Amino acid sequence: MSSFQRYPIVSIAVDGDGFQDRGAGIVISRRPFRILVPTHVIDSLLDQEERTITLNGIRISGIKVVASSALTADHLSILKLPQTARRSIESIALPRKSIPLRAGQSVHILRSTGLDEAHGEILDVQDQGEGTSVMTNIPVKPGDSGSPMLINGCLAGVCQGMAQQEGIGVAVAVPLSDDGLKELRRFRRQWRLGFAGSVGALLLALLLSFGAFAIYSSSSFRIESIDVEEDGSRITVHNAQRLTLHRSWTRSFETSIRRSHVFATSDQ
């Protein structure tokens, strides 16, 4: 079983004329299918006129880039795919607020090139210009760029490269900023609001349909037959309309009518 079937991560590849780029995509929402990728994947899409894009080995077309200045500042971008994610793919867990990072903190990275999540810890957190980089002791390989770095199961950062640590390539991640997290949560809410709106529209349509049917039933009554009780106390009128709420109409009466037997007399 491949990792994307157990984790909210997919492998993405861009192949062009003498060009290849590999990375991981983090599933933000399933409907619509949106994935979070490193900006270099977007650059690959824009730079290559003749290109093939595959997701988990399946060729994809109709991918759209979703504009977001907040995520661009974190060197990240959102891709919207034309289809719905498979049931085996789930959305990443987002924290309520960005997670503070420090050296010695336990983290794990979900790798698109491996079958299991890799556990480790943060070795160093450095501010570089307007951004921050986080070096871990978790080994990674080419193609792991874009893999999520999780703390307590929630997205805390995204692997953007590797550094040499005792001859081994270890993951270097960019933490998710407050603005970037707010943007991802906004994308997540859009789907929920859209789903709730669709359900509400469906319920309203059903209510209106039922109301129209009730009005039709109240005004559409064509007599098929009339039954009268023998004592005249009740009359039931049957509707000839089959699709109606009122199949019959009954009225009771206070009446002095009584039934009696009348016998003819005969002369003996």
- pLDDT for residue 105: 94
Name the band, by pLDDT with cuts 50, 70 and 90, for residue 124: very high
Query: Which percentage of the chain shows pLDDT scores above 70?
Result: 66
Predicted confidence band of residue 238 (pLDDT cuts 50, 70, 90): confident
CA distance 186 to 35: 14
Give the tens place of pLDDT for each residue, 133-180.
Answer: 899 999 988 888 899 999 998 999 999 888 887 788 899 999 988 898
Domain parsing of the chain, residue ranges: 106-179, 220-268
More confident residue, 33 or 266: 33
Question: pLDDT band at 125, cuts 50/70/90?
Answer: very high
pLDDT the model gives residue 154: 92
Averaged pLDDT, 2-24: 73
pLDDT of residue 265: 56
pLDDT the model gives residue 3: 40
Give the pLDDT score at 4.
39
Q: How far apart are CA 200 and CA 191, in angstroms?
A: 14
Tokens 């994610």 -> residue: 85
Averaged pLDDT, 33-41? 86
Report the top-level CATH class of 106-179.
mainly beta
Cis peptide bond prior to 175, omega within 30° of 0: no
- What strand order describes the sheet that includes 51-55? 58-60, 51-55, 9-16, 19-29, 33-38, 76-81, 64-66
Q: Is the pLDDT of residue 106 over 90?
A: yes
Residue 74's φ and ψ, nearest 5 degrees, are: -95, 10
* Sequence-ordered alpha helix ranges (H) in the chain: 39-47, 69-72, 178-219
Distance, CA of 141 to CA of 212 (rounded, Å): 63
Lowest-confidence region among 158-162, 196-200, 206-210: 196-200
The span from the CA of 128 to the CA of 96, in Å, is 25
Q: How many CB atoms lie within 10 A of CB 101?
A: 18
Q: How far apart are the first and last CA of the chain?
A: 108
Residue-averaged pLDDT of the chain: 76
pLDDT tens column, 48-78: 566 778 888 888 888 888 878 888 888 888 8
- Rounded to the nearest angstrom, the gap between the alpha carbon of residue 260 and the centroid of all alpha carbons in its chain is 75
Q: Residue 132: which residues within 8 A CB-CB, separation 6 or more? A: 101, 125, 126, 174, 175
Distance between CA atoms of 3 and 118, rounded to whole angstroms? 12
| Distance in angstroms (rounded) separating the CA atoms of residues 123 and 138 | 10
Q: Which of 53, 50, 43, 103 has the alpha carbon at shortest distance from 77?
A: 43
